[in-house]
Amino acid sequence: MQTNLEIPAARRKDAAEFIFRVLFSLIFLVAGTGHLMQPAKIASRLDNAPMGHLATAWAPPEALVILAGIALVAGGAALLLGFKTRYAALLLGLVLIPITLTVQVGTAELGPLFKNIALLGGLVHFWAGGSSAFSLDKVMEVRFERSSTKR
């Protein structure tokens, strides 16, 4: 017997995907804001990281931190809104991999390393599947379908 409180599986899945995307995006927005607000502090972590020299051989640490901060905020905002979700996930992954390799690998603490590995798993999810019904991607897809059927 179905009651009015039961939600169809497809709607539950869309809602769960939306909640996951919003909550997941927050870590990138917070981290990116930290990079932009305290670049010297983050740059010193990079300088002192066991593999930090791999990154600082390319550019000064503060420049790398600011570029990473911009990418994290932009990608996190796009992920939050569900805008170009697959590209946002790819961008965030391309930023997260070198951060993980240079700052997290080779340290005594494994928690931050495995947090980043888990984040990469979430980014693969969004890269592969895009966004659910509650996203700008879906709004644009519906508008494009409507405009193409009017022709």
The pLDDT tens digits of the residues spanning 57-114 come to 999 999 999 999 999 999 999 999 999 999 999 999 999 999 999 999 888 889 999 9
**Cα 83 vs. chain centroid, distance in angstroms?**
12
Q: Per-residue confidence at 3, pLDDT binned at 50, 70, 90? A: low
Q: Which pLDDT belongs to residue 6?
A: 83
Q: Which pLDDT belongs to residue 151?
A: 60
Q: Which pLDDT belongs to residue 95?
A: 98
Query: Over 70: is that where the pLDDT of 150 sits?
Result: no
- Return d(Cα 43, Cα 116) in angstroms, integer: 18
Torsion over CA: 11, 14, 16, 19 (sign): negative
Q: Which pLDDT belongs to residue 144?
A: 79
